Amino acid sequence: MQSRAPYVVPWTGETVAAGKTVVSEHGVAYANPVQDGFYRAWDGILWTLSGGTRSGSPVYARELHPYRQREAMDRLLCAGCNGSPSRDERGVLWLLPLLDDAEDTVWEGVQTVIPPMCVPCKTKATQSCPRLRDGHVELRVKEAEKIGVRGTLYPPPGVEGKPDPDALVLFDSPDEGRVIARQLVRELRDVTVVTFAASTP
Ligand SMILES: [Zn+2]
């Protein structure tokens, strides 16, 4: 069963942690410059540290693995197998868990950290992933722009307050330099709702 866990799901053998950081007028940085260089993306955004190996068991309740999520989301690869997602004339296949206020959800323009999927992985994921088993929507999406990241947002130097552990920071916003990113976010547009599935026991 475990080998069937989707590619982006983290494992108990894996760790994610923010390293020792310093915040200056230039933004947030890792105190260790080697670490900083390694985890800073080409666009200047700093990413969370990750370690360990895909061992133990998959953890569906945790955020998607930051490295594999970013890879799949950036390159538009399937969240399940890291291959090509399914495409047809309505666009790319996206499978999302239903939100709490599902009845009123407007899927056009929804912002998500979940990468697209292929049809074989869709079937497997609806069986293996508890969040999808609790209900999901299947979409076809023509446009999915990368709009920003989710992560920990540090206050500017001299400003009191704790970091916001789960902030959405848009690209080119003034907050961009003060975030340690964990997930890449895309906004889905020109969306066709294919089907809803309610909770399955
Ligand atoms: Zn797949």
In tens, the pLDDT along 80-125 reads 999 999 999 999 999 999 876 656 678 999 999 999 999 999 999 9
SS3 call for 57: coil
For residue 114, the CA-to-ligand 1 centroid distance in Å is 13
For residue 96, the CA-to-ligand 1 centroid distance in Å is 14
Mean pLDDT of the 25-41 span:
94
pLDDT, the chain, mean: 92
For residue 40, the CA-to-ligand 1 centroid distance in Å is 28
For residue 30, the CA-to-ligand 1 centroid distance in Å is 35
In tens, the pLDDT along 156-173 reads 988 889 999 999 999 999
Residue ranges of the domains in the chain?
A: 2-197
The per-residue DSSP string of 121-157 comes to HHHHHHHH-HHHHT-EEEEEEEEEEEEEEEEEEPPPT
For residue 122, the CA-to-ligand 1 centroid distance in Å is 7
SS3 call for 83: coil
pTM, two decimals, is: 0.93
Provide φ and ψ at 81, rounded to 5°: -120, -5
Residues 6+ apart with CB under 8 A from 126: 95, 132, 133, 136, 197, 200
